[in-house]
Copies of this chain bind each other. A is one copy, B any other.
Protein backbone atom coordinates (compact mmCIF):
# COMPACT_ATOMS: atom_id res chain seq x y z
CA UNK A 1 0.00 0.00 0.00
CA UNK A 2 1.34 3.45 -0.80
CA UNK A 3 1.92 5.59 2.24
CA UNK A 4 0.75 8.82 0.61
CA UNK A 5 -2.24 10.71 1.97
CA UNK A 6 -5.39 9.59 0.20
CA UNK A 7 -6.78 12.20 -2.13
CA UNK A 8 -10.22 13.63 -1.38
CA UNK A 9 -11.96 12.81 -4.62
CA UNK A 10 -15.36 14.42 -5.17
CA UNK A 11 -17.99 11.78 -4.46
CA UNK A 12 -20.55 10.86 -7.14
CA UNK A 13 -24.12 12.08 -6.71
CA UNK A 14 -26.62 9.30 -5.95
CA UNK A 15 -28.54 10.09 -9.12
CA UNK A 16 -25.49 8.87 -11.04
CA UNK A 17 -25.24 5.45 -9.41
CA UNK A 18 -28.70 4.64 -8.06
CA UNK A 19 -30.13 3.49 -11.42
CA UNK A 20 -27.27 0.99 -11.75
CA UNK A 21 -27.70 -0.25 -8.19
CA UNK A 22 -31.42 -0.59 -8.72
CA UNK A 23 -30.82 -2.67 -11.85
CA UNK A 24 -28.32 -4.79 -9.92
CA UNK A 25 -30.81 -5.46 -7.14
CA UNK A 26 -33.54 -6.30 -9.64
CA UNK A 27 -31.11 -8.66 -11.37
CA UNK A 28 -30.62 -10.54 -8.12
CA UNK A 29 -34.22 -10.48 -6.88
CA UNK A 30 -35.72 -11.66 -10.16
CA UNK A 31 -39.49 -12.16 -10.00
CA UNK A 32 -39.66 -14.27 -6.85
CA UNK A 33 -37.30 -12.40 -4.56
CA UNK A 34 -34.92 -13.97 -2.07
CA UNK A 35 -36.41 -17.42 -1.59
CA UNK A 36 -33.99 -18.33 1.16
CA UNK A 37 -34.21 -15.27 3.34
CA UNK A 38 -37.94 -14.84 2.83
CA UNK A 39 -38.65 -18.34 4.06
CA UNK A 40 -35.88 -19.00 6.57
CA UNK A 41 -35.54 -15.67 8.38
CA UNK A 42 -38.41 -14.58 10.64
CA UNK A 43 -39.86 -11.19 9.62
CA UNK A 44 -39.21 -9.72 13.05
CA UNK A 45 -35.54 -10.73 13.17
CA UNK A 46 -33.18 -7.79 13.50
CA UNK A 47 -29.49 -7.84 12.84
CA UNK A 48 -26.24 -5.95 12.70
CA UNK A 49 -23.95 -6.55 9.76
CA UNK A 50 -20.36 -5.41 9.69
CA UNK A 51 -18.59 -5.00 6.38
CA UNK A 52 -15.00 -5.94 6.96
CA UNK A 53 -12.00 -5.81 4.63
CA UNK A 54 -10.56 -9.28 4.08
CA UNK A 55 -7.27 -7.92 2.81
CA UNK A 56 -5.34 -4.67 2.59
CA UNK A 57 -6.38 -2.12 -0.02
CA UNK A 58 -7.89 1.23 -0.86
CA UNK A 59 -11.61 1.61 -0.41
CA UNK A 60 -13.73 2.97 -3.29
CA UNK A 61 -17.48 2.95 -3.73
CA UNK A 62 -18.50 2.52 -0.11
CA UNK A 63 -21.50 4.93 -0.32
CA UNK A 64 -22.46 3.32 -3.62
CA UNK A 65 -22.36 -0.16 -2.12
CA UNK A 66 -24.29 0.87 0.98
CA UNK A 67 -27.06 2.35 -1.16
CA UNK A 68 -28.05 -1.24 -2.04
CA UNK A 69 -29.30 -1.65 1.52
CA UNK A 70 -31.35 1.53 1.69
CA UNK A 71 -32.71 1.22 -1.85
CA UNK A 72 -34.17 -2.10 -0.74
CA UNK A 73 -35.28 -0.92 2.69
CA UNK A 74 -35.03 2.80 3.55
CA UNK A 75 -35.44 1.82 7.20
CA UNK A 76 -31.97 0.31 7.49
CA UNK A 77 -29.40 2.37 9.39
CA UNK A 78 -25.95 2.84 7.84
CA UNK A 79 -22.73 3.81 9.58
CA UNK A 80 -19.57 4.26 7.55
CA UNK A 81 -16.37 3.60 9.45
CA UNK A 82 -14.16 4.44 6.48
CA UNK A 83 -14.37 6.82 3.58
CA UNK A 84 -13.56 6.36 -0.08
CA UNK A 85 -9.84 6.84 -0.51
CA UNK A 86 -8.90 5.37 2.85
CA UNK A 87 -6.22 2.71 2.85
CA UNK A 88 -7.17 -0.18 5.10
CA UNK A 89 -5.57 -3.28 6.51
CA UNK A 90 -7.11 -6.72 6.47
CA UNK A 91 -9.73 -6.90 9.18
CA UNK A 92 -10.61 -3.20 9.09
CA UNK A 93 -14.24 -2.43 9.75
CA UNK A 94 -15.65 -0.52 6.77
CA UNK A 95 -19.28 0.02 7.70
CA UNK A 96 -22.13 -1.23 9.84
CA UNK A 97 -25.69 -1.88 8.69
CA UNK A 98 -28.41 -2.31 11.26
CA UNK A 99 -32.10 -3.08 11.11
CA UNK A 100 -34.40 -5.77 9.77
CA UNK A 101 -32.40 -8.91 9.09
CA UNK A 102 -34.12 -9.79 5.84
CA UNK A 103 -33.16 -6.83 3.64
CA UNK A 104 -29.61 -6.92 4.99
CA UNK A 105 -29.20 -10.50 3.83
CA UNK A 106 -30.95 -9.87 0.54
CA UNK A 107 -28.89 -6.82 -0.47
CA UNK A 108 -25.56 -8.21 0.75
CA UNK A 109 -24.25 -9.64 -2.52
CA UNK A 110 -25.25 -6.60 -4.60
CA UNK A 111 -23.41 -4.33 -2.16
CA UNK A 112 -20.30 -6.50 -2.01
CA UNK A 113 -20.13 -7.01 -5.78
CA UNK A 114 -19.78 -3.30 -6.50
CA UNK A 115 -17.58 -2.57 -3.49
CA UNK A 116 -15.22 -5.39 -4.40
CA UNK A 117 -14.92 -4.27 -7.98
CA UNK A 118 -14.41 -0.55 -7.33
CA UNK A 119 -12.06 -1.08 -4.40
CA UNK A 120 -10.17 -3.58 -6.52
CA UNK A 121 -9.63 -0.92 -9.17
CA UNK A 122 -8.65 1.69 -6.59
CA UNK A 123 -6.26 -0.69 -4.90
CA UNK A 124 -4.52 -1.67 -8.13
CA UNK A 125 -4.29 1.98 -9.16
CA UNK A 126 -2.88 3.02 -5.79
CA UNK A 127 -0.26 0.29 -6.01
CA UNK A 128 0.96 1.55 -9.36
CA UNK A 129 0.84 5.16 -8.23
CA UNK A 130 2.87 4.16 -5.20
CA UNK A 131 5.38 2.34 -7.37
CA UNK A 132 6.09 5.60 -9.18
CA UNK A 133 6.54 7.64 -6.01
CA UNK A 134 8.91 10.53 -6.56
CA UNK A 135 8.76 10.43 -10.34
CA UNK A 136 5.90 12.83 -11.03
CA UNK A 137 4.45 10.59 -13.74
CA UNK A 138 0.67 10.41 -13.77
CA UNK A 139 -1.17 7.12 -14.18
CA UNK A 140 -4.39 7.29 -16.19
CA UNK A 141 -7.05 4.82 -17.19
CA UNK A 142 -8.57 4.30 -20.64
CA UNK A 143 -11.98 3.62 -22.21
CA UNK A 144 -11.49 -0.14 -21.63
CA UNK A 145 -14.19 -0.24 -18.97
CA UNK A 146 -17.11 -2.54 -18.27
CA UNK A 147 -20.23 -1.69 -20.32
CA UNK A 148 -22.49 0.47 -18.16
CA UNK A 149 -19.94 1.18 -15.42
CA UNK A 150 -17.64 3.74 -17.00
CA UNK A 151 -18.45 6.62 -14.64
CA UNK A 152 -18.00 4.39 -11.61
CA UNK A 153 -14.81 2.68 -12.72
CA UNK A 154 -13.21 6.00 -13.67
CA UNK A 155 -14.19 7.30 -10.26
CA UNK A 156 -12.44 4.33 -8.67
CA UNK A 157 -9.28 5.14 -10.61
CA UNK A 158 -9.40 8.70 -9.26
CA UNK A 159 -9.85 7.34 -5.76
CA UNK A 160 -6.78 5.21 -6.39
CA UNK A 161 -4.79 8.33 -7.12
CA UNK A 162 -4.85 7.95 -10.88
CA UNK A 163 -6.21 10.31 -13.48
CA UNK A 164 -8.82 9.85 -16.15
CA UNK A 165 -8.16 9.90 -19.84
CA UNK A 166 -11.19 10.49 -22.05
CA UNK A 167 -14.59 9.54 -20.61
CA UNK A 168 -15.91 8.85 -24.08
CA UNK A 169 -15.46 9.57 -27.73
CA UNK A 170 -16.95 13.01 -27.29
CA UNK A 171 -14.77 14.93 -24.83
CA UNK A 172 -11.46 15.06 -26.67
CA UNK A 173 -9.86 14.11 -29.97
CA UNK A 174 -7.50 11.17 -30.01
CA UNK A 175 -6.25 10.40 -33.51
CA UNK A 176 -5.09 6.80 -33.59
CA UNK A 177 -3.31 4.67 -36.19
CA UNK A 178 -6.59 3.46 -37.66
CA UNK A 179 -7.77 7.01 -38.21
CA UNK A 180 -4.56 7.79 -40.01
CA UNK A 181 -5.16 4.87 -42.39
CA UNK A 182 -8.12 6.67 -43.91
CA UNK A 183 -7.13 10.27 -43.21
CA UNK A 184 -4.11 10.44 -45.48
CA UNK A 185 -1.49 11.29 -42.92
CA UNK A 186 -0.97 13.08 -39.65
CA UNK A 187 -1.09 16.65 -40.94
CA UNK A 188 -4.42 16.47 -42.79
CA UNK A 189 -5.93 14.54 -39.88
CA UNK A 190 -4.90 17.13 -37.33
CA UNK A 191 -5.92 20.03 -39.52
CA UNK A 192 -9.32 18.58 -40.22
CA UNK A 193 -9.94 17.92 -36.53
CA UNK A 194 -8.75 21.37 -35.50
CA UNK A 195 -10.97 23.07 -38.06
CA UNK A 196 -14.09 21.35 -36.84
CA UNK A 197 -14.00 20.69 -33.12
CA UNK A 198 -14.91 23.27 -30.53
CA UNK A 199 -12.35 25.57 -28.94
CA UNK A 200 -12.58 23.71 -25.64
CA UNK A 201 -11.55 20.36 -27.13
CA UNK A 202 -7.99 19.12 -26.88
CA UNK A 203 -6.27 17.06 -29.55
CA UNK A 204 -3.92 14.13 -29.03
CA UNK A 205 -2.25 12.00 -31.69
CA UNK A 206 -0.91 8.47 -31.42
CA UNK A 207 2.50 7.81 -32.97
CA UNK A 208 4.43 4.56 -33.26
CA UNK A 209 7.80 5.94 -34.35
CA UNK A 210 10.05 8.87 -33.76
CA UNK A 211 9.66 9.76 -37.43
CA UNK A 212 5.94 10.20 -36.91
CA UNK A 213 6.64 12.18 -33.79
CA UNK A 214 8.88 14.54 -35.72
CA UNK A 215 6.10 15.10 -38.26
CA UNK A 216 3.72 15.86 -35.42
CA UNK A 217 5.95 18.31 -33.61
CA UNK A 218 5.10 21.49 -35.47
CA UNK A 219 1.37 20.75 -35.63
CA UNK A 220 0.99 22.06 -32.10
CA UNK A 221 -1.39 19.45 -30.73
CA UNK A 222 -1.98 19.14 -27.01
CA UNK A 223 -0.63 15.67 -26.41
CA UNK A 224 1.05 12.74 -28.05
CA UNK A 225 0.41 9.09 -27.30
CA UNK A 226 3.66 7.19 -27.69
CA UNK A 227 2.48 3.71 -28.49
CA UNK A 228 4.37 0.58 -27.57
CA UNK A 229 7.78 2.19 -27.39
CA UNK A 230 10.61 0.74 -25.29
CA UNK A 231 11.97 3.02 -22.53
CA UNK A 232 14.95 4.18 -24.63
CA UNK A 233 12.74 5.28 -27.48
CA UNK A 234 10.42 6.96 -25.01
CA UNK A 235 13.36 8.84 -23.58
CA UNK A 236 14.31 10.05 -27.04
CA UNK A 237 10.74 11.04 -27.68
CA UNK A 238 10.49 13.02 -24.48
CA UNK A 239 13.65 14.81 -25.40
CA UNK A 240 12.41 15.55 -28.89
CA UNK A 241 9.11 16.91 -27.55
CA UNK A 242 10.92 18.93 -24.93
CA UNK A 243 7.80 20.12 -23.16
CA UNK A 244 5.93 21.31 -26.22
CA UNK A 245 3.11 18.88 -25.60
CA UNK A 246 2.09 16.32 -23.05
CA UNK A 247 3.70 12.93 -23.56
CA UNK A 248 1.76 9.79 -22.80
CA UNK A 249 3.15 6.27 -22.94
CA UNK A 250 0.81 3.42 -23.66
CA UNK A 251 0.75 -0.19 -24.77
CA UNK A 252 2.04 -3.34 -23.20
CA UNK A 253 3.08 -1.75 -19.93
CA UNK A 254 2.95 -4.08 -16.94
CA UNK A 255 3.28 -3.52 -13.20
CA UNK A 256 6.79 -4.81 -13.62
CA UNK A 257 7.80 -2.49 -16.44
CA UNK A 258 5.93 0.62 -15.35
CA UNK A 259 8.70 2.22 -13.33
CA UNK A 260 11.19 1.85 -16.15
CA UNK A 261 8.69 3.43 -18.50
CA UNK A 262 8.09 6.29 -16.11
CA UNK A 263 11.77 6.95 -15.73
CA UNK A 264 11.86 7.80 -19.41
CA UNK A 265 10.36 11.11 -18.35
CA UNK A 266 6.94 10.79 -19.99
CA UNK A 267 4.24 12.93 -18.40
CA UNK A 268 1.78 10.12 -18.09
CA UNK A 269 1.20 6.43 -18.60
CA UNK A 270 -2.16 5.01 -19.59
CA UNK A 271 -3.05 1.49 -18.52
CA UNK A 272 -6.05 -0.36 -19.92
CA UNK A 273 -5.78 -3.13 -17.36
CA UNK A 274 -6.61 -0.77 -14.47
CA UNK A 275 -10.24 -1.31 -15.50
CA UNK A 276 -10.37 -4.28 -17.86
CA UNK A 277 -8.51 -6.79 -15.71
CA UNK A 278 -9.72 -6.22 -12.19
CA UNK A 279 -8.74 -8.18 -9.11
CA UNK A 280 -11.74 -8.11 -6.82
CA UNK A 281 -11.11 -6.59 -3.38
CA UNK A 282 -12.45 -9.05 -0.86
CA UNK A 283 -14.96 -7.71 1.63
CA UNK A 284 -16.86 -9.89 4.06
CA UNK A 285 -20.12 -9.31 5.84
CA UNK A 286 -20.08 -10.37 9.49
CA UNK A 287 -23.59 -10.86 10.64
CA UNK A 288 -25.03 -11.02 14.14
CA UNK A 289 -28.56 -11.12 15.46
CA UNK A 290 -29.69 -8.15 17.56
Spot the interface stretch: A90-98, A137-145, A210-218. A137-145
A200 CB to closest chain B CB (Å) equals: 4
Task: Let me know if A170 and B15 touch, CB within 8 A.
Answer: no
- Does the CB pair A149–B150 fall under 8 Å? no
Contacting chain B: which of A127-135, A174-182, A234-242, A255-263?
Answer: A174-182
Residue numbers in B under 8 Å from A289 (CB-CB)? 181-182
Max chain B Cβ within 10 angstroms of own Cβ: one of A8, A199, A285: A199
Q: Which residues of B contact A103 (CB under 8 A)?
A: 13
Oligomeric state, in copies? 6
**A28 CA to B144 CA in the complex, in Å?**
11
A232 at the interface (CB under 8 A from B): no
* Interface flag for A243 (CB, 8 Å): no
Contacting pair B173 A35 (CB below 8 A): yes
Partner of A32, one of B32, B146, B171, B280: B171
* Alpha-carbon distance between A172 and B150 when the two chains are bound, in angstroms: 18
Residues in B neighbouring A105, C-beta threshold 8 A: 178-179
Given contacts A29-B169, A171-B170, A276-B116, contact A182 B101 (CB under 8 A): yes
Chief secondary structure at chain A's binding surface: mixed
Tell me the A50-107 residues at the B interface (CB within 8 Å): 71-73, 101-103, 105-106
Give the most central of A22, A73, A175, A200: most B CB within 10 Å: A200
26 A–B contacts from the bound complex (CB under 8 Å): A10-B39, A13-B103, A24-B147, A27-B150, A28-B143, A29-B170, A30-B31, A32-B151, A32-B154, A35-B193, A36-B175, A36-B176, A37-B179, A38-B196, A39-B192, A40-B183, A41-B183, A114-B147, A116-B144, A146-B149, A163-B199, A166-B200, A171-B201, A200-B202, A202-B202, A278-B278
User: Which residue numbers of A lie inside 8 Å of B, CB to CB?
Assistant: 8, 10, 12-13, 15-16, 20-43, 45, 47, 71-73, 101-103, 105-106, 108-110, 112-114, 116-117, 120, 138, 140, 143-151, 154, 163-179, 181-183, 189, 192-193, 195-202, 204, 222-223, 246, 248, 267-268, 272-273, 276-280, 285, 287-289
Instruction: Give 13 new A-B contacts, CB below 8 A, not counting A20-B147, A35-B171, A110-B147.
Output: A13-B29, A23-B147, A27-B31, A29-B169, A29-B170, A30-B171, A31-B150, A32-B154, A39-B192, A41-B179, A171-B200, A177-B287, A199-B202
